[in-house]
Structure 1
């Protein structure tokens, strides 16, 4: 399972957001990209997207990560740094 945790903090605008991307295999052998986002310290919104292969799920996660990084999100911690 691959997990990437991103944060965007802008104290001047009172923005403290997180975005988590997780690629995991389902019980039936397909792959899923699980996205969770919201305000830091609060439960987030969760969405799952299913894929036939792990590489397709990772590629979709990498695309979302690039979009979020362009919007100011940054990877936090060792997990996710340089992955995908």
Structure 2
């Protein structure tokens, strides 16, 4: 397999339709050296579903990868934001109130 890495994660979010979906594609080698296309999809925030397609060679896996990506892009999926997450605000110095004193 070439040193080129094939991974993509796309999302389709439409608040008006209460839709938040993801689709991930990756070309990987199996433990037995076969080339496989890994797919994962579902609602954002869930584990979703997964499927692994074993291909006879890298070229066929790449054709399937690009075909699926093209279909998803036509349906409105867009690449995920790859910027790093913003830093969390500093924690306050107050200690947490014990749960027993809440009553």
TM category, shorter:
0.7 to 0.9
Gapped regions of structure 2 (runs ≥ 5): 83-103
Whole-Å Cα distance in 1 between the matches of residues 35 and 72 of structure 2? 22
Q: Using CA pairs under 8 Å that are at least 6 residues apart, name the structure with larger relative contact order, 1 or 2.
A: 1
Q: How many residues align?
A: 78
The structure with the largest alpha-carbon Rg is: 2
Cα distance in 2 for partners of 1:32, 1:77 equals 26
Q: CA deviation at 1:60?
A: 0.2
- RMSD over equivalenced CA pairs, Å: 1.1
TM superposition outliers: structure 1 runs of 4+ over 3 Å:
none
**Gaps spanning 5+ residues in structure 1: where?**
79-84
**TM-score, structure 1 as length reference:** 0.86
- The partner residue of 1:68 within 68, 72, 93 is 72
